[in-house]
Structure 1
C-alpha cells in the first residue's frame, strides 16, 4: 500500500475511534433526553437506512445461503438487539467514564471467545493479558478490587459480552459474504427487533421522541450516521486494507477519548484509579488478543544466537 493511502487509512480509523469515544458520551445525553429503548431503536434504524443506501449505491446485494442467513440473524440478535438494549439501559445507571472502561474489554473478550469457539491457541502471554484485564476491572469498580457490581455495570458487561459473541457469528458470515452488506442488514433488521421491544417496555416512547432541543437531535443524528453507520463502514474497510490486527489495536483509543469527552462534556470526574484501570485493560488487550506476542515477543532475539 502506498504511504499516502496508508496514512489516509490510519487517519480515517483514528477519526472513527474519536467518534466512538464521543459516542458513549452522546448516548449518555440521549438516554437522559429520550426513553432509552425507543431512542436506541430509532437511532439504529437511522444507521441501518444509511448503511443500506450506501451498499445499494456502492455495490449490488448478494443473495444469502441458509448458513449465511443463520449467522447473520444470530449476529443481529446478539450484536444489535441485545447489545444496544443493555448498553442504553446501563447508561441510565452509571457514568459514561466507567462505561467506556468496561467496553474496553471487548477485544480481549472477543479473543477469548475465539479460543473457545474458533479453536485459536491460548498461550501464556494471553493468560497474562487476562490477568492484567481482571486487575483493570477491579480498579474501575472503585479502586478497591471489590467483586460487588452495580446494576448498571452488570448491564454494560452483558452489553460487552453479547457484542463479543456477535463477532464470532459475524466472522463466520463474512467468510463468504461482504462485510458491508452484513453490517447493513444487521443494523436494519436489528432496529426492527429493537422497535418491537420498545413498544412493549415503553408503550408511550414514540411520542416522547418529540419536543427535545435542536442540540439533542443533532447529537442523535451524529451518533446514528457518523459514529454508527459511517464508523462501521470505515472500520470494516480498514480491516480489509491493513488487516484485523493493526485495525483492532486502534480500539484502545476509544476508552481514552471516552474518558476525556466525559470529563469535558458531562463534567464527570476522572479518578486516578480509573486511569490505572485503563492502563491495565490496555495491557490486557495487547497481550490477551495475541497482538503483543505476535509483534513484540516473537521478534525479541534469543541470547547467544546469531541474527
Structure 2
C-alpha cells in the first residue's frame, strides 16, 4: 500500500503565490466570458498565449538557463500542448455557451484527474477514497450537465463536454509539469510551455487577424489582460508553488476558484448558475475533498515484556 503523503508546511511566499494564482485564474473565467463574443476560441487562445510568451520571456531575462534532457523536453512538450494549447481552446469553446461559474465548477474536476493519473502512471496507487470521491464527483458532473443552460435557456451538453476536456488537459498538464520541475527552473519551464502552446495555436492566425479587425478595444485589452495576469503572472506563481509543494496538495487550493468565479460572474456579468448546476458543483467539490482523505494508521501496540525477577 502506498504511504500517505504528508502535508508540506507552506511558507509565506508559497501562500502568497497560491493566492495570486487562485485570484488570477478565477478572474480568467470572467474575462473569457466577456471577450468571447468578439474572438473565436482559437484566436483568443493564440493572442493570449502570444502576450503570455512575451511577458514570460521578459521575466526570464538574466536568469540561468538549464539545458533540458531528452526526457525533460518530452515532458515540457506535453505540458505546453496540453495545458497551454488544448486547455485554452477547450475552455474558450465551453464558455461560448456556459456561464463562467458553471465552467469553473467542471474544470475544477482536475484535482481528481491528477490523483487518478498519478495513481495510474506514477505508481501512487488508487486508494479507496479516491474511487469514492471520483464517483461522487461524477454524479456532480451529471447534475451540472443537466442543469447547464445556454443564453437561450436550453441544455448544451456539448459545451459541458468541452469543459470536461479542459479539465482533462489541465490535469495532464500538471502531470507533465511536476516532474519537469524536479531539476529545471520554474520560470524556464513555464516560458517553454507557453511558447509551445503558442506554436500549437498558430493555425488560428488567420482567425486572429480577422477578429482583431472587428473586435472593440476593451475586448482586445481583455485578452491582453489574460496574457499578462492569468497566464504570465499566475502560471509563474503556480510553477513556483508547484516546485515546492506536492502536486496533490497544491491542487487543493483550486477548490476556491469556482466560488470566486461564481461571485465574480454575479458582480461583473450578472450571471448565476442554475440551482441544479450549483448542487452539482458542490458535489464535485465534495468528491474532490473525499479523494484527499487518508486511512487512519492505527498505532501498533508494543507487547509488554516481563522482566525476570
TM-score normalized by the length of structure 1: 0.84
Q: Which structure 1 segments of 5+ residues have no match?
A: none
Spell out, residue by residue over 1:137-157, the C-alpha distance to the aligned partner (whole angstroms, 9 max, x if none): 12212359xxx9611111111
Structure-2 residue corresponding to 1:269: 272
Structure-2 residue corresponding to 1:62: 66
Q: Which structure 2 segments of 5+ residues have no match?
A: 1-9, 149-154, 303-309
Task: State the distance in 2 between where 1:253 and 1:180 align.
Answer: 25
Retained in 2: the 8 A contact 1:30–1:36? Answer: no
Are residues 268 and 10 of structure 1, via their aligned partners in 2, closer, same or farther at CA, if it must alter by over 3 Å?
same
Structure-1 residue corresponding to 2:293: 292
Structure-2 residue corresponding to 1:16: 21
Are residues 71 and 244 of structure 1, via their aligned partners in 2, closer, same or farther at CA, if it must alter by over 3 Å?
closer
Task: State the distance in 1 between where 2:207 and 2:285 align.
Answer: 41
Q: Mean alpha-carbon deviation: is it higher for 41-50 or for 214-223?
A: 214-223
**What displacement does 1:242 show?**
4.9
Spell out, residue by residue over 1:68-109, the C-alpha distance to the aligned partner (whole angstroms, 9 max, x if none): 222211222222222212222222132222211110101111
Retained in 2: the 8 A contact 1:39–1:209? Answer: no
Are residues 251 and 193 of structure 1, via their aligned partners in 2, closer, same or farther at CA, if it must alter by over 3 Å?
same
Match status 1:25 vs 2:25 = no
Moved over 4 A (4+): none
2:230 to 227, 239, 243: 227
**What displacement does 1:166 show?**
2.6
Structure-2 residue corresponding to 1:43: 48
Are residues 34 and 138 of structure 1, via their aligned partners in 2, closer, same or farther at CA, if it must alter by over 3 Å?
same
Retained in 1: the 8 A contact 2:99–2:273? Answer: no
**What displacement does 1:112 show?**
0.6
Spell out, residue by residue over 1:233-255, the C-alpha distance to the aligned partner (whole angstroms, 9 max, x if none): 11222234455444322100111
Are residues 204 and 121 of structure 1, via their aligned partners in 2, closer, same or farther at CA, if it must alter by over 3 Å?
closer
Task: State the distance in 2 between where 1:17 and 1:298 align.
Answer: 30
Are residues 155 and 207 of structure 1, via their aligned partners in 2, closer, same or farther at CA, if it must alter by over 3 Å?
same
Q: 1:209 is paired with a residue of what secondary structure?
A: helix
Kindly tell me the number of residue pairs found equivalent between the two proteins.
Answer: 286
Question: Whose helix fraction is larger, Structure 1's or Structure 2's?
Answer: 1
1:191 to 198, 206, 229: 198
Q: What pairs with 1:1-307 in structure 2 (closer than 5 Å)?
A: 6-57=11-62, 59-143=63-147, 150-195=157-202, 197-199=203-205, 203-210=206-213, 212-288=215-291, 291-293=292-294, 297-298=295-296
Are residues 119 and 236 of structure 1, via their aligned partners in 2, closer, same or farther at CA, if it must alter by over 3 Å?
same
Root mean square deviation of aligned Cα: 2.5
Task: State the distance in 1 between where 2:138 and 2:207 align.
Answer: 41
Task: State the distance in 1 between where 2:186 and 2:14 align.
Answer: 17
Task: State the distance in 2 between where 1:8 and 1:176 align.
Answer: 20
Q: Mean alpha-carbon deviation: is it higher for 162-171 or for 38-47?
A: 162-171
**What displacement does 1:41 show?**
0.3
Are residues 251 and 52 of structure 1, via their aligned partners in 2, closer, same or farther at CA, if it must alter by over 3 Å?
same
Task: State the distance in 1 between where 2:41 and 2:128 align.
Answer: 41
Task: State the distance in 1 between where 2:71 and 2:245 align.
Answer: 28
**What displacement does 1:191 show?**
0.6
TM-score normalized by the length of structure 2: 0.83
Task: State the distance in 2 between where 1:86 and 1:198 align.
Answer: 14
Task: State the distance in 1 between where 2:245 and 2:174 align.
Answer: 19
